[in-house]
Amino acid sequence: METFLNPSTPSLAPLTGRDNNRLQVEDRPAHDWYRFVLSFPPHLVRNYLSRFKVGPSALVLDPFCGTGTTLVECKKLGVAAVGIEANPVACFASRVKVNWDVQPDGLLNHARQVASLALDRLTAEGIQDAEALPLFSSSHQHVTPVLRPLPDDIDKLLLKNSISPLPLHKVLVLLDVLDELKNEAFSECERLALAKAVVFGISNLHFGPEVGLGAIKTDASVVGTWLKTVEMMVRDLRELRQKAQVKSLVYQADSRGCLDFLQPESVDAVITSPPYPNEKDYTRTTRLESVILGFVRSKQDLRALKQSLVRSNTRGVYVGDRDDELVAGHEEIQRIAADIERRRIELNKTSGFERLYPRVTKLYFGGMSRHLFALRRVLRPGARLAYVVGDQASYLQVMIRTGQILADIASSLGYELMGIDLFRTRLATATRQALREEIVLLRWPGTEKS
């Protein structure tokens, strides 16, 4: 089933490729402080806020809030919002991006003090940070630097060569100074600026959309890149502080579980994008900044993080997982899992991960069923929901129509299906087959509040 957008709302005409998913220039304030490559765009949020007739007295929930696209857009429009996110670095980013009480001039002045001290220390070690040096001066003589690595057990958590030794050393020096000169009023903004700078300006990472290695940078301006990021945040804060202040809360939690931190029947609308059932390990996308900022310090930390996520890839499947039992009677999910297993045997695919393809498919939809079940308690009668999901063919090219199956699960739990919008199409990497990215539109039954 396809629906068509209300002509009075901004258009989301179906597009092929990435055009309809780009961050528009006018949307960059706050959104661009730190953003997943796979994030959906702010204009999608605006569209569904309009279609759902969400007013200033409403509460919007994003139960898979990622880096806060829904929350930021709601705040810009004067609508209270709550986000839930299990990934700690993404949860941190969302919290920072909706805190516009930070005094911009104070942030800028403090960041300049940090940069000055960090540059002095690097210069004393014989290390330059070319782009930032014209801003500051130092008379220290050059000496042969001794570069600091990450501890071996932490370094093993990263994709090899994620960041080169010299830029990494500069980052660690900058972190030391941030800790020494820590000011609670500015610390979170400064650390988020470092996360963005490390990933998108300093590291060797490339996103396409899979995370991998791009050109190896033997050196990079660290302090300079970080300071420019802070300056961008300062410019945004000067604008954003003028907007209406509304409640924006973010909880680090598993959206499949109990949502007792939300009041019963308090949510008027849900706009979100959960993980898709594929082989993307979403923790890899944020691994470098998670390690640098100390959110993940060990294999145990990483395991705990993965266990708090909907099972969407085989690298996050554990022996004790039971979500698949919730969809044991769903014929289409069972058929897809059987087709994947049949295809695996035909192709003689015998790796441990390949053997898990059928199970992770069932775990994924079971996890989404758990989430939708838990969500019912907090929805107001008449609440509207929009779930951005995509077709997948990652498991031996067996097609998974994610939106249709999710709609069917929701219907079995008492939700009303309003329709499925086509957001865009994209080409599968292996087969070049067109895959649909869709918005599943649901309604929780009952009479809406006046």
- For the ranges 22-31, 400-409, 430-439, the maximum mean pLDDT occurs at 400-409
Please provide the distance, in angstroms rounded to a whole number, between the alpha carbons at the two ends of the chain. 30
Domain annotation covers residue 299 = no
The answer on 363 and 265 residing in a single domain is: yes
Comparing C-alpha atoms, which of 104, 46, 118 is closest to residue 78?
46
Comparing C-alpha atoms, which of 269, 274, 281, 283 is closest to residue 390?
274
State mean pLDDT over 95-123.
97
> Tens digit of pLDDT for each residue in 139-163?
444 456 889 999 999 999 999 999 9
The answer on 361 and 331 residing in a single domain is: yes
> Is residue 318 predicted with pLDDT exceeding 50?
yes
> Is residue 266 predicted with pLDDT exceeding 50?
yes
> Is residue 134 predicted with pLDDT exceeding 70?
no
> Is residue 14 predicted with pLDDT exceeding 60?
no
Angle at 381 between CA 376 and CA 387, to 5 degrees: 55
Least confident segment among 21-25, 346-350, 406-410: 21-25
Domain annotation covers residue 418 = yes
State mean pLDDT over 187-210.
93
Sorting pLDDT into bands at 50, 70 and 90, what band is 22?
A: confident
* Region for 173 from its dihedrals, namely left if φ exceeds 0, alpha if ψ lies in -120 to 50, beta otherwise: alpha
Sorting pLDDT into bands at 50, 70 and 90, what band is 97?
A: very high
Paired with 207 in beta bridges are: 211
Give, as one character, the DSSP assignment of residue 418: E
d(CA 199, CA 213): 11
The answer on 423 and 401 residing in a single domain is: yes
Q: Give the CATH number of the domain where residue 385 resides.
A: 3.40.50.150
The answer on 321 and 211 residing in a single domain is: no
Last residue of a domain, one of 222, 240, 258: 240
Sorting pLDDT into bands at 50, 70 and 90, what band is 3?
A: very low
The answer on 251 and 236 residing in a single domain is: no
Paired with 248 in beta bridges are: 81
Neighbour-count burial of 440, counting CB atoms closer than 10 A to its CB (0-12 exposed, 13-18 middle, 19+ buried): buried
- To the nearest 10°, report the CA torsion of 362, 363, 367, 369: 20
Give the CA count within 13 Å in the CB-facing half-sphere of 35. Answer: 21
The answer on 153 and 36 residing in a single domain is: no
The answer on 337 and 383 residing in a single domain is: yes
Share of the chain above pLDDT 90, in %: 81
Backbone angles phi, psi at 167, to 5 degrees: -60, -35
Domain that holds residue 25: 15-89+245-278+313-443
d(CA 10, CA 20): 12
Sorting pLDDT into bands at 50, 70 and 90, what band is 25?
A: confident
> Is residue 321 predicted with pLDDT exceeding 90?
yes
Sorting pLDDT into bands at 50, 70 and 90, what band is 449?
A: low
Domain annotation covers residue 226 = yes
> Tens digit of pLDDT for each residue in 353-391?
999 999 999 999 999 999 999 999 999 999 999 999 999
Share of the chain above pLDDT 70, in %: 90
Sorting pLDDT into bands at 50, 70 and 90, what band is 431?
A: low
**Total domain count, the chain:** 2
State mean pLDDT over 39-64.
95
